[in-house]
């Protein structure tokens, strides 16, 4: 039997959540799909978080990914933006953890480096490289979905490496690795 697994990549956001799925068969990638969850029309931030959670659960229940790769929020100057992104990421992670799916976080620079060889590559450069590597016929208008797909591909490229990012196999692992931070609050 072929060695197969499915990786769900997520680019969390409170305006647009991008996601992409790849199947790995005998160490070769196959594109499954990419899309985005549009959240601009919702004013209530809690409704957005609920929709992110529900869509992530729906993706998990439909495609049964073996692993989830998620883009970590980058440290910017706007604290409110970071807080919103962190919440979006946390809700997507909670959905995966509730289904016992291992999650790995990747910094945006790490994802860009894995895809293009340049940690400062533009979204367009990442999208074009994914198009080439996965044989995509066209690219979406918004590139949030390619960012989600890039997280999945980055995870595939980093498989078997010792230092890939933060990984959590479930709630127990998350609490064990972050207990000191949780207890300080």
Asked if residue 71 belongs to a known ligand binding site, the reply is: yes
Asked if residue 61 belongs to a known ligand binding site, the reply is: no
Nearest CA among 115, 32, 18 for reference residue 70: 18
From the number of C-beta atoms within 10 Å of its C-beta (0-12, 13-18, 19+), residue 26 rates as exposed
**Catalytic pick from 11, 36, 105, 147?**
11
**Catalytic pick from 36, 67, 105, 144?**
144
Would you call 105 a catalytic residue per the annotation? no
Would you call 66 a catalytic residue per the annotation? no
In three-state secondary structure terms, 147 is helix
**Catalytic pick from 36, 67, 71, 147?**
71
178 contacts: CB under 8 Å, gap ≥ 6? none
Active-site residue set: 11, 71, 144
Binding residues for Mg(2+): 11, 71, 144
């Amino acid at each position: 039997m072929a060695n197969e697994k499915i990786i769900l990549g997520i680019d969390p956001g409170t305006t647009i959540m991008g996601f992409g799925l790849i199947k790995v068969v005998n160490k070769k990638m196959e594109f499954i799909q990419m899309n985005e969850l549009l959240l601009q029309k919702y004013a209530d931030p809690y409704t957005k978080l609920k929709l992110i959670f529900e869509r992530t659960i729906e993706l998990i229940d439909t495609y049964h990914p073996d692993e989830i790769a998620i883009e970590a929020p980058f440290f910017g100057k706007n604290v409110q933006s970071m807080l919103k992104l962190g919440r979006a990421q946390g809700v997507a992670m909670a959905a995966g953890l509730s289904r016992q799916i291992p999650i790995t976080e990747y910094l945006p620079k790490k994802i860009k480096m894995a895809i293009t060889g340049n940690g400062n590559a533009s979204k367009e450069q990442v999208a074009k490289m994914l198009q080439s590597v996965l044989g995509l016929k066209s690219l979406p208008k918004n590139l949030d979905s390619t960012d989600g797909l890039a997280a999945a591909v980055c995870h595939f490229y980093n498989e078997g490496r010792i230092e890939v990012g933060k990984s959590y196999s479930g709630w127990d692992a998350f609490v064990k690795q972050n207990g000191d931070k949780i207890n300080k609050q």
